[in-house]
């Protein structure tokens, strides 16, 4: 990180442990688990704690998994535990609705992220306007951002700013980026907008912390990270590691290191069966550029159809599948099986 000796850049860490982490446990966290982690994150002065179904507001469904609790119960539980941290929610148009946004703000959401595929920012216009009208902070994020280049991402982010987004950025949904990829993209976005830039990393290739540092160097000031990297597949950028690394680099996060380490221990003990690891499937997902949340259905389908899951991930990558296209997994698997005969 390149900083002036007297300059301590302020980085806002956004913690989606209780939202993105949900992917790792089939969206089955209960109220006691949500409460325990939220209390610990609040004690660590984590600025924003994001909560909800892994795919966001309104996403609980048979297709992608029903959550143990409904949105209202999750939000109410976490809101009561956060006395100083702000509460965030996430919504992708198509799964959530304006009614879901209204309910989330009613239940205490301070920050609402509206997500879109990396080339489809136009679908966020209505919902960003609704969030602004509701008085919450509106943010826009682009999913599967490796699927297009820096210039297009910058244009799409600028569109979301025009729609009312007060912070914009990109998600490395498949854990596909190298630091140089992040640098190019974040630089382009930061040059194109006058609001804070967001980066959200995944760890499929073991580069989530390095990519987050590259994002900071390139101008991002809002970085996502989860306790113990809790998330689908190889997981997300690891929050407590990132706090320590940023401290070493001279950045200011406002988060207590001892307290965030304690929160991470609670996450490990209470939220997950085992910490995320970078196994062969995670690497295949990262190289193929396929959303990490496809891990479970890919493994299930590969087993049922008798095909290699790594081959299935690579084939899905060639088809450039995105979240919401889970129904294609079976079709691609059957084609692989037929081709092998």
Instruction: Give residue-wise pLDDT tens across range 42-81.
Output: 999 999 999 999 999 999 998 788 999 999 999 999 999 9
Q: What is the DSSP string of 215-261?
A: HHHHT--EEE-BGGG-SSTT-B-BHHHHHHHHHHHT-B----HHHHH
Say which DSSP state 17 is in. Answer: E
Query: What 3-state DSSP class applies to 321?
Result: coil
Q: What are phi and psi of 10, to 5 degrees?
A: -95, 120
The Cα 284–Cα 290 span in angstroms is 9
The 10s digit of each residue's pLDDT in 173-191 is 999 999 999 999 999 999 9
The 10s digit of each residue's pLDDT in 200-214 is 999 999 999 999 999
Catalytic residue selected from 22, 23, 107, 146: 23
Per-residue pLDDT band at 337 (split at 50, 70, 90) = confident
The Cα 33–Cα 267 span in angstroms is 8
**What's the pTM?**
0.94
**Catalytic status, residue 23:** yes
pLDDT at 5 over 50: no
pLDDT value of residue 17: 98
């Amino acid at each position: 990180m390149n900083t002036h000796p007297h300059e301590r850049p302020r980085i806002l860490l956004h913690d989606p442990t209780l939202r993105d982490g949900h992917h790792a446990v089939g969206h089955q966290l209960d109220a006691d688990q949500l409460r325990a982690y939220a209390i610990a994150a609040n004690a660590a002065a984590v600025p924003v704690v994001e909560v909800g179904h892994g795919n966001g507001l309104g996403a609980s469904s048979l297709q992608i998994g029903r959550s143990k609790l409904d949105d209202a119960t999750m939000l109410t539980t976490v809101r009561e535990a956060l006395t100083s941290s702000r509460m965030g929610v996430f919504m992708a148009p198509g799964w959530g609705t304006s009614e879901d946004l209204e309910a989330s703000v009613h239940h205490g959401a301070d920050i609402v992220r509206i997500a879109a595929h990396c080339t489809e920012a136009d679908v966020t216009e209505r919902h960003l306007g609704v969030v602004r009208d509701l008085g919450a902070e509106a943010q826009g994020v682009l999913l599967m951002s490796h699927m297009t280049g820096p210039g297009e991402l910058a244009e799409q982010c600028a569109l979301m700013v025009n729609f009312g987004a007060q912070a914009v950025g990109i998600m490395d949904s498949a854990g596909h980026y190298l630091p140089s990829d992040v640098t190019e993209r974040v630089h382009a976005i930061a040059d194109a907008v006058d609001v804070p830039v967001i980066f959200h990393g995944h760890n499929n290739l073991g580069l989530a912390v390095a990519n987050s540092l590259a994002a900071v160097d390139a101008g991002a000031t809002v970085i996502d990270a989860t306790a113990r990297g809790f998330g689908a597949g190889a997981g997300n950028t690891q929050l407590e590691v990132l706090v320590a690394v940023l401290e070493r680099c001279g950045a200011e996060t406002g988060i207590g290191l001892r307290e965030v380490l304690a929160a991470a221990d609670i996450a490990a003990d209470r939220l997950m069966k085992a910490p995320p690891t970078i196994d062969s499937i995670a690497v295949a997902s990262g190289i193929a550029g396929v959303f990490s949340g496809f891990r479970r259905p890919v493994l299930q389908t590969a087993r049922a159809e008798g095909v290699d899951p790594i081959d299935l991930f690579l084939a899905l990558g060639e088809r450039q599948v995105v979240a919401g296209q889970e129904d294609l997994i079976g079709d691609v698997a059957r084609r692989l099986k037929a081709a092998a005969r």
